[in-house]
Chains A and B, each alone.
Chain A
Amino acid sequence: MRTAVLLLILLPPMVAQDLCKESKDGFKVRLSIKTALGDKAYEWNKSEMFLFQSTLAFAMRIHANRSNQETNYNIANILVCNDTQRVSFVFVVTSPDDPTQPIPKEQVERAVRLSKHRINNAFLLSDMTLEFVGIPPTLAAPIKYDTPPWLIVFGVVMGAVAVGIMALLMSTVSKRRRAKDKAAGFAEEDGGIVKENGTSLSSLKGKDGVYNQAFSSDERFTQL
């Protein structure tokens, strides 16, 4: 009688250990707490393990909720073994209805990938420092821009340069026009004005007189 009671008490954990060690549906987990947190690192102990088991049960519940399945996962359904100094261990998830039946690997993988962010945050770790061996992390989606930022900067610079060229060409054109007007102005001075003796008072621009090119020493026109 006593042996039967003893067996009954000791059997489940023994079975559980066997399930964890031999199951092919288990995943190895590795935590690098010191690397991630340095001085603020916490000790890995049974309480932290408890947190892990509960977080994983939470992840399984969320996943099951999504696919409208049974969601009674509990801490007892997360079996942990092969605990090492590295802080790495193997876990297996068992079905809430039948504790001897492990959940298939793919389902566990999907559940973990879905809630990886929550699991990371529970332990203040990241994808690099909390590894599930065999489950690739879901990388952050690349930011999508409507207009790539480089095009915006390019547009700004191109606009500034275009304005510069316009200004330059305008000043060239106006300079040419002024030079042409100056040259044409001397030729047309006498046209349309009443002349007396070949000159007209109004053609004399004030007391400064008229610029006579023949006597200028402007280098522009006399060159050897």
Chain B
Amino acid sequence: MSKEARPSWDSPMQFVLACVSYAVGLGNVWRFPYLCQMHGGGGFLIPYLLMLVLEGIPLFCMELAIGQKMRLGSIGAWTAISPYLGGLGIASVVTSMYLCLYYNVINAWSFWYLFHSFQSVLPWAECPVNSNRTGYLEECEVASPTQYFFYRETLNISSSIDENGGIHMGQALCLLLAWIIVYLFIVRGVKSTGMVVYFTATFPYVVLIIYLIRGVTLHGAWNGVKYLFTPKLEQLANPQTWINAATQIFFSLGLGFGSLIAFASYNHHNNNFERQAVVVSLINSGTSVFASIVTFAIYGFKATFNYESCLERMRLLLLNTFDLSEETISVENVSSWISHLNYTHPERFAAIASKIEECSLEAELDTAVEGTGLAFIVYSEAIKNMPLSQLWSVLYFIMLLLLGMGSMLGNVTAIITPLGDLEFLSRRLSNETINGLVCLLCLLLGFGFTSRSGNYYFTIFNEYAATFSLLFIVLIEVISVCYIYGLRRFEKDIEDMLGHRPNWYWKLMWAVVSPVLLISLFIFYIINYIQGGTPTYQAWDKHLGKSVVKEYPVYGQVFIVLLLMSSVSCVPLSALYAFCRRKQRGAPVPQQTLGTLSSDM
């Protein structure tokens, strides 16, 4: 047989950079700062770092060990561990597939914004004028220009998940571009991926440093950074803080998708993955903290800008109503003038009382946003007010793209590695063809997210496709490695690869602490889902200019359940299938020797 040797990374550095590029993704930029803000600023670091040590690093190391030992993608690796566990790998592949489908849509949006930054006036800086040029479009007036650009011109969103519409051509083109670039990166497997990660892993840091310098020199940035670092330690008593810290560590490291197993399967047998696991996890967490400093500097700038605009509006209102000279009221003494005029001219003041706003810097800083809203609305609003906004916009969206593309590399590798290991596929089709077909399939299905109600389906995928199933997958992973495969055998494998046995920290975490943490997270999720009642979503109302809460229709809820069940059910179904085939064959097959593939595949 003339099978080629398994390709491998050109150097351990490529592997580390690939893991960093995969783990450091959009969540570090748009989820961690939000959690920090919600759970007491600097104080959130305590549960976060604790969870990193208890759950993040051990599970990360475990996945790398499995991949490096078995030298196969997730399906093959888990089948090798136990013939009944092949479904675990299939569940990982299915979850990765869902993730790939919707994650690249974010990259498409980043491309859209990036291409629109090459204009003299950023399109989200001003509202478009209406037909007779007397004012701005109504939807843009009630909302803000950045929100209008995102919801109307980028998404052309409908007002509920029921209303469908055509596909947004611009979005479809950007999605096509995103998938072609992904294909270009992974077409040769690790050979091409290894070249690309040098760039995708390091350039975001360059942009982050540039943004840090720009951010802290902005007017009012210090307000935001101070807000971030004043710890509100009473939040530590809130159990939600600890739960959010645990889930954030878990999802941020990208455990359970099979990407880490896939990456590690291309390593040399004696690669020191233990040290690399610690390094990559620490880099990931460090990047989260670093990115939140940058985010809060920008928040501070935006909040101060809005606060000062509010004061200016109030000043003008008072000047115009009472016909006072411009020098009498300045921005600083607006509030004292308000109380003074209320006292001296109550009737005239009462006429404008409805227009008086409470300008508060605290309130501006308190508006916490996460997810796509933060990345595409809040950040663009801050950028449009910076001098040289086109440059900052281009830099920012290039950074988002690199972060997103880097994570996509891992996501797609998690699918193509196990598929490439399957005998019946690799015999008939070349690797490039398999990779191309996967990308094509994801592209065609992804066009659904570019329709008018596509963003609502995106939200469903974002919230449900990968959260619950991952907890389940990793829980089964850690239990099967420790108890089904056996911790002693696992120790011996590691000794075989590294030359020394894992010390007590690793064993304690794998066998006891992580499973307990995962089970409690798992139970919490189920309780939360049941207690939450009918799942709801945020729908954009174009007349009010803001999002309103709506309940999912019946078919939406069925879809959610299908999403959850389709990946989770792979595990028991596959175990059942393996059991039935074994019974069919008659004699039970002896325990797997290490490194050989089960003949059932």
Which A residues are CB-close (under 8 A) to B530?
Answer: none
| Distance between A168 CB and nearest chain B CB, rounded to angstroms | 6
Query: Roughly how many angstroms separate A168 CA and B112 CA in the complex, as a whole number?
Result: 26
Interface string of B182-208 (1 = CB under 8 A from A): 011001100010000000000000000
Given contacts A158-B177, A161-B180, contact A141 B129 (CB under 8 A): yes
Query: Roughly how many angstroms separate A34 CA and B325 CA in the complex, as a whole number?
Result: 10
- B134 in complex: contacting residue of A33, A87, A139, A157, CB < 8 Å: A139
Which A residues are CB-close (under 8 A) to B355?
Answer: none
Interface string of A143-181 (1 = CB under 8 A from B): 000000111111001100110110011001000000000
Which A residues are CB-close (under 8 A) to B173?
Answer: 154
Q: Answer yes or no: A35 CB below 8 A from chain B CBs.
A: yes
Which A residues are CB-close (under 8 A) to B114?
Answer: 153
Which A residues are CB-close (under 8 A) to B180?
Answer: 158, 161-162, 165
Given contacts A86-B325, A139-B129, contact A168 B187 (CB under 8 A): yes
Query: Roughly how many angstroms separate A57 CA and B402 CA in the complex, as a whole number?
Result: 60
Which B residues are CB-close (under 8 A) to A86?
Answer: 319-320, 323-326
Which of B1-9, B220-228, B378-386 touches A? B1-9
Interface residues in B, total, Cβ within 8 A: 39
- A150 in complex: contacting residue of B5, B116, B327, CB < 8 Å: B116
| Distance between B134 CB and nearest chain A CB, rounded to angstroms | 4
Interface string of A42-76 (1 = CB under 8 A from B): 00000000000000000000000000000000000
Given contacts A85-B325, A86-B323, A223-B1, contact A138 B187 (CB under 8 A): no
Q: Answer yes or no: B473 CB below 8 A from chain A CBs.
A: no
- A34 in complex: contacting residue of B183, B323, B327, CB < 8 Å: B327
Query: Roughly how many angstroms separate A34 CA and B316 CA in the complex, as a whole number?
Result: 12
Interface residues of B in 290-328 (CB under 8 A from A): 316, 319-320, 323-328
Are A153 and B115 within 8 A (Cβ)?
yes
Chain B minimum-CB-distance residue to A162? B180
Q: Answer yes or no: B345 CB below 8 A from chain A CBs.
A: no
Which B residues are CB-close (under 8 A) to A153?
Answer: 114-115, 118
Residue contacts A-B, CB under 8 angstroms, 23 given:
A32-B326, A85-B323, A86-B319, A86-B320, A87-B326, A88-B323, A136-B134, A136-B135, A139-B134, A141-B129, A141-B133, A149-B116, A149-B119, A150-B170, A153-B114, A153-B115, A154-B111, A154-B115, A154-B174, A154-B177, A157-B115, A161-B184, A168-B184
Known: A136-B134, A164-B184. 20 other contacts (CB 8 A): A34-B327, A35-B326, A85-B323, A85-B328, A86-B325, A87-B325, A88-B323, A140-B129, A150-B115, A152-B118, A154-B111, A154-B173, A154-B174, A157-B111, A157-B177, A158-B177, A165-B187, A168-B188, A169-B432, A221-B2
- Which residues on B are within 8 Å of A, measured CB to CB? 1-5, 111-112, 114-116, 118-119, 128-129, 133-136, 170, 173-174, 177, 180-181, 183-184, 187-188, 192, 316, 319-320, 323-328, 432
